[in-house]
Structure 1
Amino acid sequence: MDTIQKDPLQQQFDSLNPAIPTDRRGFIAGLVASGFALAVQPVAAQTVIKTPADGLVTGAVDIPAGDLTIRGYRAMPAGKGPFPVVMVVEEIFGIHEWVQDICRRLAKAGYLAVAPDLFARQGDPSKIDSIPKIIETVISKVPDAQVMRDLDATAAWAAANGGDATRLGVTGFCWGGRITWLYAAHNPKLKAGVAWYGRLVGQPAELTPKHPIDLIGAFKAPVLGFYGGKDQGIPVASVDQMQAALKAADSKSEVRLYAEADHGFLADYRPSYNPAAAADAWPRALAWFKQHGV
């Protein structure tokens, strides 16, 4: 019988989810308290970085987005604003604890950080028990145009709730990394973006008509993209292709490759977490936002 090789991320998923150990009870309680259910996701027993909420305003929020009010997680300094805004675009697993921690890290750096539930119309990834099912039943049904509108709504919500509309940034991870590049070509009010290991090239489809490499001439804000040399899903060749295209267009956007890092290298809840690459990339991300007025 032929053996079907699993996707590497699915292998991580399977290895990390046989059961929920007791040392994760505090981790789960934090998710429930913030208004989000624990996703049956590839979450390790412990995250390396746990950002406390002291000195911050944090929690679940409701974001009016046209025909629907979508949930979100917000973290911002407790002092007087307005604060520069960074929208945080989720992975395919939804707004789980690690995404919330990213918001708190940004809030500690002085930002109003908000992560909207961009899958609200298609489904809840936390209720799905495998990555292929998440992709098939939720992710593959999410139109880029819908995501752009919901991010616009999130930016408007942030501006009305303690954020500075003139200092707007966006960052995203994996699925959200690709969206970050797209949003930089969409919103003329955006100041800067930071994309983490988001897909760069691909075939056009009805719901995803263009990919980052198709939009280089349309970028309205500079994007810094981080990629791993050992990422099996995003070949180095495509990163090189993007880098060459950016250079040819004299673009202000950049890509940075960490040769020894894998996909998800910033995500300290995954086995692919690379402390060296993460420690180098995160300060660069914050500096990129500062450099470009966010």
Structure 2
Amino acid sequence: MMQQILDDIAEQMAIETKRGKVADYIPQLAHVDPSQFGIAVATPDGQVYAAGDASTLFSIQSISKVFTLTIGLNKLGSELWTHVGREPSGDPFNSITILEYEAGRPRNPLINAGAIAVVDAIMMGRQPKTVMTEILQFVRSVSDDDSIGFDHKVAASEMQHRDRNAALAHFMKSFGNLEHEVDEILDIYFHQCSVAMSCEQLARAGLFLVSNGINQATGVKVIKPQQSRRINSLMMMCGHYDGSGEFAYQVGLPGKSGVGGGILTIAPGKGSIAVWSPGLNPVGNSKLGTKALQLLVEKTGWSVFAN
């Protein structure tokens, strides 16, 4: 049944004419073919269902913030919240506005400023390459796939066009809220965003958030149950930036988007869903990916608000 649902969704997405606009402020992403669409669902028993371009690699971009947040909570526990808040921003992902009002402390870990603060917190005086290795090993572990790697061309492209993110970081550092050198923090941040994964790999990687911090398919306990629930709550409130309320309204599941066109969505107790379509809506979230998730929830009843 699930396979048929995904096949039907992929077929419907293939004939869509309004596909959004690819992110062009990162030049390497501007070259991605917007006609592509993939969807995958991983269930706690280890099954993976997929349709469309679900095996094609793409840059996960801000979806990576879920993984560094998990690393941060494992390392620092509740101390992490001294570095970053837990409130929705209501602003674009790269906005500096609220930082000025709130003394350089980011609203949440899923906007750019917040993710930069999380990277600074998990560095702990270590060199960027060491932290990059830790992040990549974590992603490989939760997805149970050692083939996953960085897209170095994307990372270099982001570093060359880092002015906005550098401004966010320097602003936070001016308030004493970052400990390490800005370019070292950004080097790690851009590499985490450049991680290249397929929908199938990404769906597997989200399984620990489906079952209270445990990947039941592998038996690995990734994070404490309470922390897993809190990550899901942050994804629901903040995972789509200033489009988070609309996503919750339309889809009704915790989710995290990336400007590469991917969305990782969690149906607690049911499955981990990854969709990818490079064209974005005006607030920077995958246009067809969001539409596909609406269809999936309608067909499965997986919304957390369902009776």
Q: Same fold (TM over 0.5)?
A: no
Higher relative contact order (CA 8 A, sep 6+): 2
TM-score by length of 2: 0.28
Higher helix share: 2
TM-score by length of 1: 0.29
Higher strand share: 1
